[in-house]
Amino acid sequence: MSKIPLSWSRVSVYRQCPSQFEAKYITKTYPDESDNPAFAKGNEVHKQLEDYINWRITGKKEPSLGKIAINVKPIIDSYFNRVVPTAISAEKQIALNHEWKVCGWFDSTSIVKWRAIMDMLVILRKDRLVLIDFKTGKVRPYADDRGQLHLTAAILFELYPDVDQITAAYLFAEHKQTDQTTFHRKDHTPNKAAFDVEWQVINEDKEFEPKKNKFCYFCGIKSDCIYG
């Protein structure tokens, strides 16, 4: 098997069930989920917030915000009141190669190791970043188990060598709640190394055994699975 670039969504699927990972990203036999109402809602809210942030940066036509996205507007505005508009970005796409250096998003799979899309990134100052990940649906507090924000922090520490601290948060738009975590550069090396190990484990897997988990009932391949 050729090496496959990873993102948080791919890592999380593998952790949940290697068999589902194989169906989604290798054999590509997993059923299409594009009509899932929850996905559609999340995509719409993210698009509205991206358009609003870009409007605050460019001053072009102001977009309308729906009843969920409007909850996030005061927080977005508060950061635009603190820094110059160009210090903020929406849906920032970053790809890193096997040396954790920036490469092209669409570079070949032999080059790209990690990909990440950052909903809202704020450069507070040279040594401080703020990362906000917009969430829709239920409030699921961030667990300190080397999750999504840990991977994104590792990528950002590599991208911004002068940064010493990253404040990262899940922002649950429907509930107006945030769950915040702070990362420090002194912890970056072991965090990065752990994800390197996980990348290797995933890319060396040849069996992709199914793994029973609490989401088995909703799996698109459950009829072909021993846990279906």
Percent of the chain residues past pLDDT 90, beyond the cut: 84
Q: Is there a contact between 102 and 95 (Cβ–Cβ < 8 Å)?
A: yes
- Structure tokens given for 181: 């975590």
CA angle, residues 109, 114, 115, in degrees to nearest 5: 95
Residue 3 located in a structural domain: no
Pairing of strands 128-135, 165-172: parallel
Backbone angles phi, psi at 6, to 5 degrees: -120, 150
pLDDT of residue 57: 95
pLDDT of residue 218: 87
| Interval 34-85: pLDDT, tens | 888 888 999 999 999 999 999 999 988 899 999 999 999 999 999 999 999 9
Q: In 107-123, which positions are buried (b, 16+ CB within 10 angstroms) versus exposed (e)?
A: eeeeebbbbbbbbbbbb
Residue 2 has pLDDT above 80, yes or no: no
Average pLDDT, the chain: 94
Residue 191 located in a structural domain: yes
d(CA 59, CA 36): 34
pLDDT of residue 32: 87
Residues 6+ apart with CB under 8 A from 151: 8, 11, 114, 116, 195
pLDDT of residue 44: 96
- Structural domain containing residue 125: 8-224
Residue 13 located in a structural domain: yes
Residue 1 has pLDDT above 70, yes or no: no
Token pair 């990528």 is at which residue? 155
CATH number of the domain where residue 147 is located: 3.90.320
For the chain, what is the domain count? 1
Residues 6+ apart with CB under 8 A from 220: 20, 23, 30, 31, 33
Residue 110 located in a structural domain: yes
d(CA 166, CA 184): 7
- Structure tokens given for 39: 């996905």
| Interval 90-126: pLDDT, tens | 999 999 999 999 999 999 999 999 999 999 999 999 9
HSE-CB at 206 with a 13 A cutoff on CA atoms is 1
Residue 73 located in a structural domain: yes
d(CA 2, CA 137): 35
Residue 38 located in a structural domain: yes
Supply the pTM of this predicted model.
Answer: 0.94
Residue 185 located in a structural domain: yes
Token pair 């922090």 is at which residue? 153
Residue 2 located in a structural domain: no
Q: Which amino acid is it at 124?
A: L
